[in-house]
Structures are given as C-alpha cells and as structure tokens.
Structure 1
C-alpha cells in the first residue's frame, strides 16, 4: 500500500513540476526513478506533459525509457523526439536494443536513422540487423569486454576501467588470441583475486561454451538455464567472437516463448500476443482453429446418429455423455501439459519417451479406477440401475486411460516428426478423444442394451 501511495505522489509532483517547468525540483524525482517506473509514469501523463518530460530527460534516460516500451510506443516517442535527437539517443543505447527497435520500423525509416547515427554505432547495428530476430545473432550485443591472452591481470583491470561504462556486462571477460578466436573466459572474481602480474592465459577457463549465430533463441535459453550463466558468447564458423547474449535478454526470450506456447495451446494464434489488438486481426487468427473444431463437431454429431436407437431406448445415457467427453478431454490435457513442459525444458529426451508413456499409462489406470468406481456408485444411486452404472463406469475407465495415453503419445510423435507439438497437439487430441469417448461409451451401451 505504501509503495503504491508513493508512486501516486511522485506522479502528481512530476505533473506539477512539469507544468511549472521547475527543473530544479523535478530532477531529484527523476533521478530516483528506475527505468520501468519512469515508463509507467510516462504513460500517465498527457501528450503535452510527455513532450515536456522528454525535453528534460538526458539522452541516456530516454534510451532507458525506450528499452522499457513496446514497439508502437517506441515509435511514438521517436516521432516526438525528431530525427536529430533520436540519432543522439540511439548512439547512447546498446546495439542490440537499437537493432530490436529498428527491426520494427520500415526499411526507409531504418536507413534514414542509421545515416544520422555515429558511423561506428551504425555499423554495429547494421551487423545485428542481418541476423533473424529469433536467433542468437539477433539477440546478441556487441558491447562486451574481450582481451588478448597475453594480458596480465593488472592490464585487464586497467582496461576494464575504460571499457566498463560501454559494456553490457563486466562479470565475464572473454579472452581471444591474435586472430580474435575465442580461447577462454575469466570471471571478474577470478580477476580480482589474481596477482597483478598473472597472465590471463594462466587463470582463464579454456572450455568455453559458446553458440553459433544462427542458433534458435529458445535453444540458447536452454543452454543458459542449464549452465546458470550470466552471459554466453556468440561465435562464427571459425570461433571468432561476434558478441554475447546476457541473461536479461534470455529472460525476455523465455517470457516470449511462454506467451507464444500459451497462445498456440489456446488456439488464438501464436502471433496474437497483445491483449488489446484489432478485432479483425484477432478474428483472422482464431477462425481457422474454430472452423477445425466446428468440423469436428459436425463429425461427432453424425457419429451419434449410429447410436440413435440406443439413445432412444436408454435416454439416461445422454445425461452422462458430457461428463464422459469432458473427463476424457481433461486427462488428455493434463498429460499434454506434462509432455509439452518436458519437451520445452529439455528434460524429456527421446531416450525417456517409453518411460514417460509407461508412467502416464500407470497414472491413467489409477485415475480411471478411482473415477469409474465413484461414478458407478453415483449412477447406481441416482438411476437405481447397477448395470447402467457398470456400463458408464467401464466406459469412463476406458476413455480416461485412452485420453491419458493419447495426450502423452501425440505430442511425442509430432516431436519425432519435427512438427511443433504445441501448435498441432491440442486440436488433434481433442478430435481423437471426442471420437474414442463416444464410440466406447455408446458402443458398450449398445452391447449391453438388454441389461439397461
């Protein structure tokens, strides 16, 4: 509560000081704000006060603000700044952040901005723009600290004092040979405790884990998660150091991939990441999946026609049909979530496929046995017919077991076939479970119709 109240007071004070153009009192408030908080306050201001605030922010502060904004908001700020001031701001930002920002703009605007930037900074950004956005090259930054292997510890510390302000991180110092090939890495801790005259080659860690520039960003994220690195180097085919990817960028990747997977599983389209979006765009992404489910519904309805005679004779069967289909779908979804999580984290490798199938098979039998026993008792009590209870219980046992098995097997098969299981598993599992549950349920009822 206290934190929220403090923010309200700050915003009110900032508004007052901006309106009065009282920079002397405004500056201490701005100095206390984190970039995220500054972005939150920025959008609570009127457009006129936003422009005034941008006039009072330093180039570095505007750069930090831009890094916290989404693409449409970034473009709005750039338009407010104008071409000359925008170039000055971009010169102060890290190259990977500039590349991400420019990657959302039209080519004509990108080239215009690059020509107004400092030559060295523009060349760094151009190099990054050549890589696809979702690869290691597209995520790396060229602001890192590298030294030659003949440097001493004292040489590196002196060098760090000069380069640290421009570097993305100084916790790792990367070591290269005369041909700029990556040959080692030294942590800041190891550097500080080494004797001043110690050669870097004597304290560096030679088994460096690096990634190629064309590696998918999700694979890079798995590597950093596996080894708990703060940064990982990116190299070319000849092991020359191109840049580094820091853990803060990987956190963004993990969030992005999670949002993408959730969107795909919910059948709203993996590009529909924004909550507020154009209605026609949103509908266009959802309609294909909904049409697929509509066709499944039509097929299922026709399937019921084969059991019309059974339904007419035992109307009570229709009361429990949604329960059978729903429970089957739920168990399939639970198994699907388990497998998708295992595949995405790298824990579920191919040598474990049979093991997880066996595990889920046992889980399915346990769940099916408990649920079917309960439903037999409930149906017998409600309908006064133990045979009806036994038929529904047997159908539920079979469908729950099949639902668990299908929810486990389908994503594994799709992964083997190199089809993204997140995209295709949901509709496919829904189709199979609906068909199997109806066939088993009404098939058993038809088989034992004389007892019902």
Structure 2
C-alpha cells in the first residue's frame, strides 16, 4: 500500500489524472487502489469534476463507498449530486449504516425518503432505526454491522462464521454472545478464539462481565466509558438487555472532536459558528446575540463606575488601573472556567469532590492575587511614591482574583446541576461578570481608604 506525504502527493496525483484522462482503467485502478482509503479520499477531493466523473466510471460502488465514508458531510453533499441514482444507491448499500445515517441526518426529509427507497430494504431498515434515535445518544451513533454468536457454538463454528461475515462487519475483535432472545450474555475476543482449540465451546471461553451502554445514553458518556476501559467497541442494549448494535472507537473519536468543538464554541460564545466554511453573515448571525447580551452587561459595569464618580474625581489616578484589575479578574475567571468544564467533562470532579475543587481554585486565585498584588503594589510605591495607592490596587487584585476563581468554578457547576451543558457558561460571560465584581471590590476598597490618600 502506497503512503502519500506532501512531497509525493502532487506527483502521484499527476500519474492518476493522466491515467484517468487517457481512459487507462487498468493503470488508474492500480495507482488509485494502492493508496490507503484516507489518501484516496484526499486525492479524490483534489480532482476536478471531469476527473471525478472518470473515478465513478472506473470504480465500483463498493470501492467508492469507502472513499465516500471518509469525506466530511458537506463534501458528501456536493459529491452525491454528481452521482447517478443507481450508483448512489449502491454506494449507500455498501456503506456502514451509521455512516449513512450521519449523512442523511443532514439532508431534507424528502431527499432522505428518496434515498432510503432506492436502497436495499434490509440496509434501509437499519438506517431508519438509527435515524429514529435522539441525536447524540448511543443508539444514534452505533453501527448495526456486528457479529453476535451463541454460547453453545464451538470455536471452529465461530471462525468459519467470521470467514463468511467478517468482511461486512465494522469490527470483529470483540464477539458478543447472545441468548435465544438476542439478550447480551457475554463477550469473547479474537485472541480468545485463536488460542483455543476448535472444539471448545464459546461458553467456556467467554466473559459474562460485559460492560454495555443503554441505547439512550449520551454519546459523551459512551466516549468516557470506552476511554476508561480502553475498549475498541462497546455493545448497545435496550431495557431488556437485547443487543442492538455496537459503538466503535472510531465513532468515539468523532464524538470527542464534536464535543470539544461544541465546548469551545460555548466557552467563547461562538456556538455553531466555529466552522470556517460558514459565510460571514451566517457566523455573524450566530455570534451577535451573545455579543449584544454582553453589551447590556457592559452597561451595568458603566453604571458601577458612575456610582463611584466622586471617588474617581477625588483621585483621578484610580481610573488608570481599572483595565488592569478587570483584565486580571477576567483572565483568572476564564482559567477556572476551563478547569471546571474540563473536570465535569472527564468525570474527575466526582473523584475529587465538589468542595475540594472549589477550595483548590479559590486558593489558587488568592495565591496568584497575592503574587500579582505584591508586585503591582511595589511598583506603584516606587514609581508614584505612594505606598497607600499601591496597597489599594494590590488588595483589590488579591480579592478580585480570589472571587473570580470561585465564580469561574461554581457557575459551570450550577449550570450542570440544571442539566444544561456547563460550557454554556461562556468565557465572555464569566469575564463580564468578573469585570463587574472586580470593579465593585476596587472602588469599595478605594472609597474606604480614600481619606488617607
């Protein structure tokens, strides 16, 4: 199998394109099918439309299905329009059901119905089952292409079954044992099979301690489970423990990426607009509500400054340090927010404990505040010759950073208790709230000590 890198891709593509344009099917198939499927998809996307049409002629639907699976959904939508109906239906028939479901979930309902009608009945039924599940659940991301066996089967029987059905299964490393009612009863592996004699019964080599997930389990919890146990796949069951499908590690990697992107969008108040393929208008429409809402918080901040106008008029120099105190508090709060959201996502918060986490972040914020406050107090005392001014700013920083850490930690926890995504406590939201509180602390300290300035 040929592996491409940046230096060889263009040269190899030239050979492939020349073979295609010369209508040299044999040479094209030799060059193209020697590539890893990921590289096939990469090369395919670099071809012009006329060159891609040659690919459809030279490759069978079964061969092209593997390339189609490796494309992003937006790319799949564009490519699907280039395929004739019969070829497209055969491509979908040769794809794993979960991959077809992922693609169809992004289409209009009438287009979905047309595609399902064109597919083989059995394959279409599997896809319909997956589409019926609520999004972001184990049922929605599981695959139906798995192999189940019986406890009374022999090792030899199972190995023969794998020879026949293995090529169509998404993974065969784990083999799930079911009873007469298709309920999950145990699990064995390829390793167990090849190290056992052919006449050995499966019930003697299987494990009955099976870790499974319910069909309605959130996909993030499924990812955490597979990561915890270092599984390559996890079985999905219903209320009766009937084996419905499996979630494979490659699907979990997609889930982790999806959840990370979603959390990043939430934390930065850019949910749904992190995709660079969106137009400027689409991105602005998604981001604008957050920014407008935060502007109103900014008006509250302006009101706080207005209420301490007399203090500012007395010592105008106090205004010079407002941006520094607000910025420091906002940055510290965002750091604690990231820690809190991450702890919730990985489950480490439950291990450490809620109060220990809050106390740890509060202590961290105070320590950073003490170090920062001491430095700024010393600098102000040296450059302005006013130790009291340095003390006011220094104490304000210590208290502001301590409070910012608590706010950044606790707000995601409160939101999580309300059964909402903790990442919704976005960075800009936390920053604006900490700006408000740090200003109140700063002016309260300054007003208390202004008579000594």
Unaligned runs of 5+ in 1: none
What CA deviation, in whole Å up to 9, does each residue of 1:369-424 have, x standing for no partner? 11111011111122121111111111111111111111112212222232322113
Equivalent residues of 1:411, 1:425 under 8 A apart: no
Match of 2:314 in 1: 313
When the two chains are superposed, the root-mean-square deviation of aligned CA atoms in Å is 1.6
Equivalent residues of 2:20, 2:51 under 8 A apart: yes
1:141-160 correspondence to structure 2 within 5 Å = 141-160=143-162
Equivalent residues of 1:379, 1:385 under 8 A apart: yes
Please give the TM-score of this superposition, normalised by the length of structure 2: 0.96
Equivalent residues of 2:101, 2:131 under 8 A apart: yes
1:72-221 correspondence to structure 2 within 5 Å = 72-221=74-223
The reply on whether 1:295 has 2:325 as its aligned counterpart is no
Deviation, 1:351, is 6.8
Equivalent residues of 2:149, 2:177 under 8 A apart: yes
Distance across 1 between alignment mates of 2:315 and 2:60: 78
Match of 1:282 in 2: 283
Match of 2:354 in 1: 353
Distance across 1 between alignment mates of 2:96 and 2:249: 15
Deviation, 1:273, is 4.1
What CA deviation, in whole Å up to 9, does each residue of 1:156-198 have, x standing for no partner? 1111111110111010011011111110000110111112211
Distance across 2 between alignment mates of 1:375 and 1:351: 34
Equivalent residues of 2:411, 2:425 under 8 A apart: no
Equivalent residues of 2:62, 2:90 under 8 A apart: no
Match of 1:418 in 2: 419
Equivalent residues of 2:330, 2:432 under 8 A apart: no
Distance across 2 between alignment mates of 1:240 and 1:21: 51
Deviation, 1:336, is 0.9
Distance across 2 between alignment mates of 1:403 and 1:76: 47
Distance across 2 between alignment mates of 1:27 and 1:62: 12
Match of 2:257 in 1: 255
Deviation, 1:311, is 1.5
Look up the SS of the partner of 1:207 in the other structure: coil
Look up the SS of the partner of 1:26 in the other structure: helix
| Number of aligned residues | 450
The more displaced of 50-59 and 211-220 is 50-59
Q: 245, 248, 262: which is aligned to 1:246?
A: 248
Distance across 2 between alignment mates of 1:391 and 1:356: 29
Look up the SS of the partner of 2:166 in the other structure: helix
Equivalent residues of 2:413, 2:422 under 8 A apart: yes
Distance across 2 between alignment mates of 1:441 and 1:97: 56
